[in-house]
Amino acid sequence: MTVPLDPIRVAIVDDHPVVREGTAALLDAQTGLRVVGTVSSIEEASSLLDPSAVDVLLLDIRLGSDSGLGLLGGGEPRPAIVVLTAYDYPQYVAAALRLGASGFVVKTAPVPELVDAIRRAAAGGLAFGRRPAAAAAASLTPREREVVGLVVDGRSNDEVGAALGITTKTVEGHLRRLFDRLGVQSRTELATRALREGWLEVP
């Protein structure tokens, strides 16, 4: 990929100071990249959304109690946005892609992978190395998806039944069938797979 003559102007939105400043230092050391701003919150990020001043915005998903995904979408011009997160969940990848992000990179990725994603995004391309969907998710019925969502939230079988207006015995039946079909042994394993494989939509 050809590196532009002018450096790619990069801004960073991350609420962890060490990560934010460390990423900025790493990127400033790369040929053809220049960090032009770093902020820690959604509110401050509004100052970095001018595409005439920033080419690529690196955006964390979890910013305190806010979601960085709130900066995606909308019709107004803005820089290309690459999600940079510690949460390697396919549902986050799917949400980022659906909302118009140009890329998705996990914070444990090698620096060259991040640099490549920035360059692709600046050139108008996409950099999604993660899969946005999981095969197991397609096998869930709408009711099973509701049950799994409540299990992920930490609800007991009684609480799941109360929330869905069904008996505890019916909840147990749903879980037993899910365990058998998906090859899991416990509610914890079911919830862990649901999160890691992206069975549920990001709100």
Report pLDDT for 134.
56
The fold of 135-197 is Arc Repressor Mutant, subunit A (1.10.10)
Report pLDDT for 102.
92
Is 8-128 CATH 3.40.50.2300?
yes
Report pLDDT for 3.
45
Report pLDDT for 164.
96
Model-level pTM?
A: 0.66
Where do the domains of the chain lie? 8-128, 135-197
How far is residue 82's CA from residue 128's CA, in Å, rounded to a whole number? Answer: 9
DSSP classification of residue 46: G
Q: Name, in order, each residue with C-beta under 8 angstroms of 39's C-beta and a sequence gap of 6 or more.
A: 11, 12, 13, 45, 47, 48
Per-position pLDDT tens, the chain of length 203: 444 468 999 999 999 999 999 999 999 999 999 999 999 999 999 889 999 999 999 999 988 888 888 888 777 789 999 999 988 777 788 788 888 899 999 998 899 999 999 999 999 999 987 655 555 677 788 999 999 999 999 999 999 999 999 999 999 999 999 988 877 889 998 888 888 777 776 55
How far is residue 203's CA from residue 20's CA, in Å, rounded to a whole number? Answer: 26
Residue pair 89/198 in contact (Cβ under 8 Å)? The answer is yes
How far is residue 102's CA from residue 96's CA, in Å, rounded to a whole number? Answer: 8
List of E strands, the chain: 8-13, 33-39, 56-59, 62-63, 66-67, 80-85, 103-106, 127-128
Q: Which amino acid is at 187?
A: R
Report pLDDT for 1.
47
